[in-house]
Amino acid sequence: MMLARVADSLYWVGRYVERAEHVSRLADVMLNATLDRSNAANQTARIALGALGDTVTASEQNLYDAARVLALDLEDSNSVRVTVAMARENARQVRDQITTEMWERLNMLYLRVTGESAGRTFDRGSSAFLHEVIADLHLFKGAADSTMSHGEGWRFLVLGMYIERAQLVARLLKAAFGEGGLGGNDHVTLMNVLRMGCALEPYLRTYTAEIEPRHILDFLLFGEDFPRSIRFSTARIEEHMAEIASHVAFAGRARPERLAGRLKARLEFTDLEELESTGAGALLTSVMGDCTRIHEAIYQTFVAYPLEMRLPA
Amino acid sequence: MGNTRPVAEEQTAHEARIPPGAEGFYRPGVAFDEMYAPDGEVRNHYGLMHERLITLSAEDLAARQSTLERSFLLQGITFTVYGAEATTERIIPTDLIPRIIPSNEWDRVEAGLVQRLRALNMFLADIYGEQKVLMDGVLPRELVLGAPSYRREMQHLYVPHKAYANVCGSDLIRQEDAQFAVLEDNLRVPSGVSYMLANRDAARRTFPGSFRAASVRPVERYPDLLLATLKSMAEEWRPDPQVVVLTPGVYNSAYYEHAYLARLMGVPLVEGRDLVIHENMVYMRMTTGLQRVDVIYRRVDDDYIDPLTFRRNSSLGVGGLFNAYRAGNVMICNAPGTGVADDKAVYAYVPDIIRYYLGEDAILPNIETYLCREPAQLDHVLANLDKLVVKAVGASGGYGMLVGPHASRKEREDFAAALKADPANYIAQPTIQLSTAPCLIDGKVETRHVDLRPFILSGEKIVVTPGALTRVALRKGSLVVNSSQGGGSKDTWILAADTETRPEQESVTA
């Protein structure tokens, strides 16, 4: 049992940390793609920016500037700088609930990406800058896993992470395969899609270097063991949701738990053939919608619940 | 002693002792210096530390200082400066050279603080009860009842153990005659204890060898003593009372401290919006529903805790809290209305208050204080503005204050006008030379003025933590130590008895 406001903040720490990591990786892959003289750069940028809801067509703009905006812009609510600052702000509000190991890691990262020299460090070596951000976020997650009690607060943190991850990966796959169907992307671009999902190496071990869109979809949507697949994420969402909801005393099954269970089952029992007949777009859209509904249900059930329901008799 | 000595600090510790006085860092001035006697001799209890400092080069000192600052920044012991382009975080200035107090001096301070707080708690119980002290004319009735910090709402309320001021941080200064005196009491929501703990944590790492050799008394028990004090305030029939820390929120300058204490006590840190009052009971909103709260360690001023009872436009507290308190269903610590006992005008009467309730003389003296409300004393103050420090009664944190000798003629004239307009709002004190202590300024050991803020807990019993926050006026010659006015802080070592004359060889690797 914990303060509702604290649960909410921990949940948002999870979401922002996950988003910061994803955006860093997208920016990094995009910048790396520009090094090759091929039209993969533009395609990769289109997918990366599309996955972040950016409608600007990439071919018209300087990709380096686009990546710099993703990393450091103060106005862009999805930039690494803003999301790290938001994660740290939420962590500060629950400073008494997280461990010193977690706090110091996140605070150090915050000081680095918001400090005066952040812009210069990025210009001197953008790839190193983004790699360090990702590495620090991994250290933060590691600290959370190994120093914080795996109780309710930790579950809210992890829940935020997986809900964010499911949505981000769904959006990435939609940007890559949603509209133009499964064809249309060349080999290098497909590799970049896997890189953006942090999935290239695990994919290669499963499917070898034969990179095919349907296998990418299969891997990132239905991969049972890969931690960034949507199926894996929804299974964790369901697991943590069930545990958290079991403490709520009032009658009936809590709504977010039911929604999470349904989403998990959907991912478990859909297969690729079915998906190919209907198109990936529809499923991905409904995954994103379900995540939004779970998000809202969590807020209504655990944070902003009506008081009349819970007053002592 | 094993051979597992930490850090390189010990390597040079057995170098020859440099004759004291011959190569001191600075010459002590008029004020009492904590490290040097007037003749330039190093005081006995500073011997080891002085010896250590002499062996460190300017680079060593600078490196240690930057390690210290880095660790404060990392821990988030900062305040935020909002700029146009980016917001930056600044650390509260902290100095790495500890201030050392021998045990015999501390014993007297401790006894004096316990005595003072006992008397002040009795005074509070009296003025919110039968008011005998006013009937006996110990201090003027209107001075107490007319003070803005007197809370009529508190009259005739039961406070367990008569412990009104559960957490007190008194400001002491060392006068030229080496005696500690009380400059002011803080009975409302005193802050700074987290710096005492953080400074200690840092000093242990900055001077590990000297720290161990010196036998410093530990301060680490403060959080659990605080928790025990708070729990002792709860009703006896509530077997495992739920304690919470109430903070105004993350934008408060002391937020770090609120979170720090909540974390070390293992209790929830709540904001007003987390609390719900239902049928005069206080609950907090948990994920699973509501949970009863028994004791609130509030770090919100009286005015803001309950918009229904106190200031109406405040959203920091929770409406109905005071009614729940009145009904005896929750304890608020410190009790509302304690501020009247640290009022700067009431301060002048504290020695009388101690004599009245305890029949004893004050162990720790007051600073001589002129009450401008008395016409004769006002005349004296106006005639001597260039020698006195004048303070507004209601203000704190170094605001609304005139330091006569350092003020310009214009400032003094403006202040004189304000004094004449509202004399009852001011008191004056002679300009006291705060004692000085060695501090690291721009890589050099120099001397700066310091005060001392120990923390006293009172619940079922009164406990003084053997440590304190030493505040430093970082500007050369300045006497203002408040952090809002460019003050810093440093660790304070209270030595355990029988170790002041520890033989030198013990500090050397065995």
Q: Answer yes or no: do B74 and A108 touch at CB < 8 A.
A: yes
Residue B492 belongs to some domain of the structure: yes
Question: pLDDT category, B21, cuts 50, 70, 90?
Answer: very low
Which has more confidence, B165 or B382?
A: B165
CB atoms within 10 A of CB B55: 14
Strand arrangement of the beta sheet that strand B94-101 belongs to: B94-101, B487-494, B462-473, B453-458, B167-169
Residue B334 preceded by cis peptide, ω within 30: yes
Q: Compute the nearest-CA separation of B155 from chain A (Å).
A: 31
Give the least confident one: A81-85, B12-16, B332-336, B358-362.
Answer: B12-16
Give the least confident one: A56-70, A265-279, B40-54, B157-171.
Answer: A56-70
Which has more confidence, A6 or B19?
A: A6
- Which residues, at least 6 apart from A133, have a Cβ–Cβ distance to it below 8 Å? A20, A21, A24, A71, A80, A84, A109, A113
Say what the pLDDT of residue B119 is.
97
- Which residues, at least 6 apart from B462, have a Cβ–Cβ distance to it below 8 Å? B114, B117, B118, B456
CATH number for the domain that contains residue B405: 3.30.1490.270
What is the percentage of chain A residues whose pLDDT exceeds 90? 62
Q: Compute the nearest-CA separation of A310 from chain B (Å).
A: 5
Residue B397 in contact with residue B484, Cβ under 8 Å?
A: yes
Q: Which residue has the tokens 């803080």?
A: B186
- Which residues, at least 6 apart from B161, have a Cβ–Cβ distance to it below 8 Å? B232, B233, B458, B459, B460
Q: Which residues of A touch B288 (CB under 8 A)?
A: 1, 247-249, 302
What is the spatial distance between Cα B52 and Cα B283, in angstroms, rounded to a whole number?
Answer: 54
What is the spatial distance between Cα B218 and Cα B494, in angstroms, rounded to a whole number?
Answer: 8
Say what the pLDDT of residue B394 is.
67
Say what the pLDDT of residue B23 is.
62
Say what the pLDDT of residue B50 is.
92
Q: Compute the nearest-CA separation of A25 from chain B (Å).
A: 24
Q: Is the pLDDT confidence value at B109 over 90?
A: yes
Question: pLDDT category, B80, cuts 50, 70, 90?
Answer: low
Shared domain for B158 and B272, answered yes or no, is no
How large is the C-alpha radius of gyration of chain B?
Answer: 24
Strand arrangement of the beta sheet that strand B426-430 belongs to: B370-371, B426-430, B388-392, B401-403
Q: Answer yes or no: do A92 and B76 touch at CB < 8 A.
A: yes
Looking at residue B480, what DSSP letter applies? Answer: -
Of B270, B274, B289, the CB nearest to A310: B289
Considering Cα of B107, then B111, then B112, then B117, what sign does the dihedral take?
A: positive
Q: Token digits for A38?
A: 């091929």
Say what the pLDDT of residue A61 is.
59
What is the spatial distance between Cα B286 and Cα B306, in angstroms, rounded to a whole number?
Answer: 21
Q: Answer yes or no: do B76 and A6 touch at CB < 8 A.
A: no
Residue B229 in contact with residue B457, Cβ under 8 Å?
A: yes
Domain boundary among B384, B407, B430: B430
Nearest C-alpha neighbor of B326 from the set B153, B141, B164, B181? B153
Shared domain for B401 and B295, answered yes or no, is no
Say what the pLDDT of residue B2 is.
41
Question: pLDDT category, A113, cuts 50, 70, 90?
Answer: very high
Nearest C-alpha neighbor of B488 from the set B148, B195, B280, B210? B195
Say what the pLDDT of residue A57 is.
53
Mean pLDDT of A261-265: 93
Structurally, chain B folds into a number of domains equal to 3
Say what the pLDDT of residue A24 is.
97
Helix B409-421 vs helix B375-383: crossing angle, to nearest 10: 170
Question: pLDDT category, B87, cuts 50, 70, 90?
Answer: low
Mean pLDDT of A75-99: 92
pTM score above 0.90: no
Shared domain for B249 and B167, answered yes or no, is no
What is the spatial distance between Cα A116 and Cα B84, in angstroms, rounded to a whole number?
Answer: 12
| H helix runs in B333-408, sequence order | 344-347, 350-358, 375-383
Say what the pLDDT of residue B510 is.
33
* Three-state DSSP class for residue B260: helix
Residue B6 belongs to some domain of the structure: no
Say what the pLDDT of residue B503 is.
45
Residue B456 belongs to some domain of the structure: yes
Q: Is the pLDDT confidence value at B295 over 80?
A: yes
CATH number for the domain that contains residue B256: 3.40.50.11290
Residue B114 in contact with residue B455, Cβ under 8 Å?
A: no
Shared domain for B268 and B201, answered yes or no, is no
**Which run of H or E residues covers position B17?**
none
Q: Is the pLDDT confidence value at B77 over 90?
A: no
Mean pLDDT of B495-506: 59
Which has more confidence, B459 or B91?
A: B459
Question: pLDDT category, A55, cuts 50, 70, 90?
Answer: low
Shared domain for B446 and B362, answered yes or no, is yes
Domain boundary among B381, B396, B430: B430
Alpha carbon B307 to chain centroid distance? 28
- Phi, psi for residue B465 in degrees, rounded to 5: -70, 130
Q: Token digits for B242?
A: 């739920």
What is the spatial distance between Cα B251 and Cα B80, in angstroms, rounded to a whole number?
Answer: 9
Residue B229 belongs to some domain of the structure: no
CB atoms within 10 A of CB A149: 9
What is the percentage of chain B residues whose pLDDT exceeds 70? 89
Cα-Cα end-to-end distance for chain A:
19
Q: Answer yes or no: do A100 and B250 touch at CB < 8 A.
A: no
Considering Cα of B238, then B241, then B242, then B247, what sign does the dihedral take?
A: positive
Q: Token digits for B2?
A: 């094993």
Question: pLDDT category, A249, cuts 50, 70, 90?
Answer: low
Say what the pLDDT of residue A77 is.
87
Shared domain for B170 and B317, answered yes or no, is no
Of A4, A114, A307, the CB nearest to B286: A4
Say what the pLDDT of residue B423 is.
87
Residue B228 belongs to some domain of the structure: no
Give the least confident one: A33-47, B18-32, B270-284, B410-424.
Answer: B18-32
**Which run of H or E residues covers position B185?**
none
Mean pLDDT of B412-434: 87
Question: pLDDT category, B392, cuts 50, 70, 90?
Answer: confident
3-state secondary structure chain A: CCEHHHHHHHHHHHHHHHHHHHHHHHHHHHHHHCCCCCCHHHHHHHHHHHHCCCCCCHHHCCHHHHHHHHHHCCCCCCCHHHHHHHHHHHHHHCCCCCCHHHHHHHHHHHHHHHCCCHHHHHHHCHHHHHHHHHHHHHHHHHHHHHHCCCCHHHHHHHHHHHHHHHHHHHHHHHHHHCCCCCCCCCHHHHHHHHHHCCCHHHHHHHHCCCCCHHHHHHHHHHCCCCCCCHHHHHHHHHHHHHHHHCCCCCCCCCHHHHHHHHHHHHHHHCCHHHHHHHCHHHHHHHHHHHHHHHHHHHHHHHHCCCHHHCCCC
Q: Is the pLDDT confidence value at A60 over 70?
A: no
Q: Answer yes or no: do B86 and A116 touch at CB < 8 A.
A: yes
Q: Token digits for B296?
A: 């609130």
Say what the pLDDT of residue B443 is.
83
Q: Is the pLDDT confidence value at B1 over 50?
A: no
Nearest C-alpha neighbor of A32 from the set A75, A67, A77, A83? A67
Question: pLDDT category, B290, cuts 50, 70, 90?
Answer: very high
- Phi, psi for residue B384 in degrees, rounded to 5: -120, 30
Q: Is the pLDDT confidence value at B284 over 60?
A: yes
Give the HSE-up count for residue B467: Cα atoms under 13 Å, Cβ half-sphere. Answer: 26
Give the least confident one: B74-83, B175-184, B241-250, B386-395.
Answer: B74-83
What is the spatial distance between Cα B91 and Cα B78, in angstroms, rounded to a whole number?
Answer: 4
Shared domain for B148 and B60, answered yes or no, is yes
Cα–Cα distances (Å) from B66 to A91, B69, B231, B448, B463, in that order, read 26, 5, 40, 20, 35
Size of chain A, expressed as the number of residues it contains: 313
Question: pLDDT category, B395, cuts 50, 70, 90?
Answer: low
Instruction: List all residues of chain A from 76 to 95 with a beta carbon under 8 Å from chain B.
Output: 89, 92-95
Q: Is the pLDDT confidence value at B495 over 60?
A: yes
Say what the pLDDT of residue A262 is.
92
Say what the pLDDT of residue B16 is.
36
Mean pLDDT of B108-128: 97
Q: Compute the nearest-CA separation of B303 from chain A (Å).
A: 23
- Which residues, at least 6 apart from B442, have a Cβ–Cβ distance to it below 8 Å? none
Mean pLDDT of B229-253: 90
Say what the pLDDT of residue A66 is.
87
Domain boundary among B405, B430, B455: B430
Q: Is the pLDDT confidence value at B465 over 80?
A: yes
What is the spatial distance between Cα B444 and Cα B56, in angstroms, rounded to a whole number?
Answer: 11
Give the least confident one: A105-119, A245-259, B293-307.
Answer: A245-259
Q: What is the pLDDT of residues B357-379, one digit of tens each?
A: 999 999 999 999 998 888 888 99
Q: Answer yes or no: do A312 and B73 touch at CB < 8 A.
A: no
Mean pLDDT of B416-421: 87
Q: What is the pLDDT of residues A132-173, one digit of tens each?
A: 999 999 999 999 999 999 999 999 999 999 999 999 999 999
| H helix runs in B388-445, sequence order | 409-421
Strand arrangement of the beta sheet that strand B295-298 belongs to: B269-270, B243-246, B295-298, B331-333
Cα–Cα distances (Å) from A247 to A151, A156, B407, in that order, read 12, 13, 64
Shared domain for B50 and B150, answered yes or no, is yes
Amino acid B392 reads A
Task: Supply the mean pLDDT for chain B.
Answer: 87
Say what the pLDDT of residue B288 is.
86
* Three-state DSSP class for residue B286: strand
Q: Is the pLDDT confidence value at B6 over 50?
A: no
Q: Answer yes or no: do A107 and B263 touch at CB < 8 A.
A: no
Shared domain for B377 and B439, answered yes or no, is no
Shared domain for B407 and B468, answered yes or no, is no
Q: Answer yes or no: do A95 and B256 touch at CB < 8 A.
A: yes
Shared domain for B416 and B456, answered yes or no, is no
Shared domain for B252 and B170, answered yes or no, is no
Residue B73 belongs to some domain of the structure: yes
ipTM above 0.90, yes or no: no
Domain that holds residue B426: 370-430
Give the least confident one: A251-255, B15-19, B297-301.
Answer: B15-19
Say what the pLDDT of residue B83 is.
55
What is the spatial distance between Cα A144 and Cα A98, in angstroms, rounded to a whole number?
Answer: 8
Residue A49 in contact with residue A58, Cβ under 8 Å?
A: yes
- Phi, psi for residue B225 in degrees, rounded to 5: -70, -35
Give the least confident one: A97-101, B27-31, B391-395.
Answer: B391-395
Residue B111 belongs to some domain of the structure: yes
Give the least confident one: A170-179, A216-225, B116-125.
Answer: A170-179
What is the spatial distance between Cα B200 and Cα B218, in angstroms, rounded to a whole number?
Answer: 9
Residue B336 belongs to some domain of the structure: no
Say what the pLDDT of residue B407 is.
84
Nearest C-alpha neighbor of B298 from the set B328, B256, B238, B258? B258
Residue B228 buriedness (CB in 10 A; 0-12 / 13-18 / 19+): middle
Q: Which residues of B touch A310 (CB under 8 A)?
A: 289-290
